[in-house]
Amino acid sequence: MKEATVEKKFYPDYLVEILAVALVIGMATLVLSMSYPKELGRRISFSAPFSPKPEWFFLWFFEILKYFKGNFAFIGAVVLPAIFIVTLVMIPFIDSGGRGRIRATVAIGLIYLCFIVFTILPALDY
């Protein structure tokens, strides 16, 4: 004995099901977000002196600028970041030759080490 199968069509059968599920998920998200609000940003104390702090991904740059003051600021602001970028661009050329892979690995490792050290140093000061 064969059972009769009813074929569902996209419109309106599946569309109603999809919209119902989307509505339930949207309402659940709304209820949860209203029940547990997230605080935005850090609290501002108007009595404390203003001390600007960069985001974490610029900490290395601001730390390098601490070491080059006055007339030497150009070296820390332009020359050293340019050397990092040129070194990264030159990696395919550094990688050629007999010991190229080792030289390229050392170059990338030194750049990453500089970024990590100069990011962690100011993070420890805050």
Q: How large is the average pLDDT for residues 77-106? A: 90
Q: Please give the Cα distance from 40 to 37 (Å, whole number).
A: 9
Residue 105 lies in a domain: yes
Query: Which of 4-13, 20-29, 33-42, 93-102 is the most confident on average?
Result: 20-29
Residue 29 lies in a domain: no
Q: How confident is the model at residue 35 (pLDDT cuts 50, 70, 90)?
A: very high
Domain count, the chain: 1
Sign of CA dihedral 15, 18, 23, 24: positive
The pLDDT value recorded for residue 1 is 61
Residue 60 lies in a domain: yes
Residue 65 lies in a domain: yes
Residue 68 lies in a domain: yes
Residue 115 lies in a domain: yes
The average confidence (pLDDT) of the chain is 86
Q: How large is the average pLDDT for residues 58-73? A: 87
Residue 34 lies in a domain: no
The pLDDT value recorded for residue 89 is 93
Query: Which of 24-28, 59-63, 93-97 is the most confident on average?
Result: 24-28
Q: What share of the chain is helix, strand, coil (3-state, %, to 5)?
A: 70, 0, 30
Residue 90's domain comprises 56-125
Q: Which of 39, 62, 36, 52 is nearest to 115 (CA)?
A: 62
